[in-house]
């Protein structure tokens, strides 16, 4: 906005200052002075150039963003939007998997919160069950411009069909479908970090309780756990591995079995599983962490309120959801974006694992690409 100056604002005009700013920015865009994808000056710079208050500039930019002229990216700045795809015309489908407790898990709710925050006033969201094929027909008919899969894996045939129909789609998972856009954590790295944490605490008999065996997230976290044990000279044993759903019943069913086999620590692949495990063990008067240490995953809202407070990994589900929606909308604007985005996860150490609380360390590296 270096073509602007204080003379562009007429303080004698009855029109409010923020509306004058809006008109100026729109004129710059309509005349081609600023093109789709161009970065605008910062709010502070605009205040200085125009000689007006920060709140006036902010109101103008917020309105222009709402109207689809601008896009605002936290920490990066404000960009000119591509209005060949009007925000009010975008409808994004959310395809949600169905397993017991899955659609309403704390992790899933945080994902949805992130998606909604990124699409608010920029797109309409429509929710579909994974079991119904209606979303494919809606892409074909042009009723959906993009699809976000909140599923543990995506069928290759569905991906091929959507690609042929010209639909953009994003997977929140560790996808093995070629050339698909995806966002997730480094789940193998998470498994390695949790196993390392328990090994460092002196445990050698560590049980694993995961979600459905066929899910990629379960497989990746299990692989990280196994590799870390083997590297430390501890032979992984399938007899100490259990699988079920991402729910408390899975933890309460399997934790006593593993305790009877003499494990001194449990790696639960989800906080809800860990919650069930802790309750079942405590009902049998098994002290946590004195007798058995317990670690969860996802840092759900209740994790710090269990007793003892739960050691877990913050997977930043809300950031994953927001990032997936932002990338999908960039794809719809024909921008170049990475195919694969990894969101950093962090170990949150609390009392349930018997280590000093309050320490954090990265479970995996943030990376994008390929």
Q: Edge to edge, what strands does the sheet with 91-96 contain? A: 124-129, 91-96, 146-150, 168-171, 181-184, 340-342, 367-369
| Residues 272 and 302: beta-carbon distance below 8 Å | no
Q: At residue 135, does pLDDT exceed 80? A: yes
In angstroms, rounded to a whole number, what is the distance separating the alpha carbons of residues 227 and 231? Answer: 6
The H or E element containing residue 258 is helix 248-260
CATH assignment of 6-80, among 3.30.43.10, 1.10.10.10, 3.40.50.720, 1.10.287.110: 1.10.10.10
364 contacts 345 by C-beta, under 8 angstroms: yes
115-134 pLDDT tens trace: 988 887 788 888 888 777 78
Same fold, 87-185+318-337 and 187-314+346-369: yes
Contacts of 117 (CB under 8 A, 6+ apart): 318, 321, 322
The reply to whether omega before 256 is within 30° of 0 (cis) is no
Cβ–Cβ contacts within 10 Å for residue 36, how many? 15
Distance CA 343, CA 354 (A): 27
Would you place residue 19 in the very low, low, confident or very high pLDDT band (cuts 50, 70, 90)? confident
Class of domain 187-314+346-369: alpha beta
Residues of the chain above pLDDT 70, percent:
86
Higher pLDDT, 225 or 58: 225
Instruction: Determine the angle formed by the axes of helices 216-231 and 187-200, rounding to 10 degrees.
Output: 40
With beta carbons less than 8 A apart as the criterion, state whether 97 and 150 touch: yes
| Upstream peptide bond of 289 is cis (omega within 30 degrees of 0) | yes
Residue 25 token pair: 């920015």
Return the SS3 of 96. strand
Structure tokens at 29: 């865009």
Yes or no: is domain 87-185+318-337 CATH 3.40.50.2300? yes
Residue with tokens 């605002």: 72
Poorest-pLDDT segment among 50-59, 205-214, 228-237: 50-59
Mean local confidence (pLDDT), 55-71: 78
- Phi, then psi, of 74 in degrees rounded to 5: -60, 125
Domain ranges for the chain:
6-80, 87-185+318-337, 187-314+346-369
What DSSP character marks residue 39? B
């Amino acid at each position: 906005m270096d073509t602007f100056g204080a003379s562009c604002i007429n303080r004698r005009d009855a029109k409010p200052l923020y509306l004058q700013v809006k008109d100026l920015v729109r004129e710059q865009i309509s005349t081609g002075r600023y093109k789709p994808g161009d970065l605008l000056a910062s709010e502070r710079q605009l205040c200085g150039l125009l000689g007006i208050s920060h709140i006036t500039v902010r109101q103008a930019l917020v309105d222009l963003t709402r109207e689809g002229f601008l896009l605002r990216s936290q920490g990066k700045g404000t960009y000119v939007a591509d209005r060949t795809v009007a925000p009010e015309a975008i409808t994004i489908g959310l395809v949600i998997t169905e397993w017991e407790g899955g659609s309403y898990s704390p992790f899933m709710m945080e994902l949805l919160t992130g998606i909604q925050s990124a699409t608010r006033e920029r797109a309409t969201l429509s929710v579909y069950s994974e079991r119904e094929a209606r979303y494919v027909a809606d892409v074909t008919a042009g009723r959906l411009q993009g699809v976000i899969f909140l599923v543990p894996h995506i069928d290759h045939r569905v991906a091929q069909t959507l690609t042929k129909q010209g639909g953009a789609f994003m997977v929140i998972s560790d996808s093995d479908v070629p050339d698909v856009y995806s966002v997730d954590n480094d789940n193998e790295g998470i498994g390695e970090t949790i196993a390392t944490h328990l090994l460092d605490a002196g445990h050698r008999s560590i049980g694993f309780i995961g979600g459905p065996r066929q899910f990629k997230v379960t497989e990746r976290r299990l692989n990280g756990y196994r590799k870390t044990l083997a590297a430390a000279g501890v032979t992984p044993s399938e007899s100490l591995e259990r699988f079920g759903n991402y729910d408390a019943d899975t933890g309460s069913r399997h934790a006593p079995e593993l305790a009877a086999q003499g494990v001194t620590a449990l790696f639960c692949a989800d906080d809800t599983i860990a919650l069930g495990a802790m309750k079942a063990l405590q009902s049998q008067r098994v002290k946590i962490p004195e007798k058995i240490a317990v670690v969860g995953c996802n840092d759900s809202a209740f994790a710090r309120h269990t007793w003892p407070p739960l050691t877990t990994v913050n997977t930043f589900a809300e950031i994953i959801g927001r990032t997936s929606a932002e990338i999908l909308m960039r794809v719809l604007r024909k921008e170049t974006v990475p195919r694969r985005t990894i969101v950093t996860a962090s170990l949150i150490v609390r009392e349930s694992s018997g280590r000093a609380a309050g320490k954090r360390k990265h479970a995996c590296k943030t990376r994008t690409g390929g």
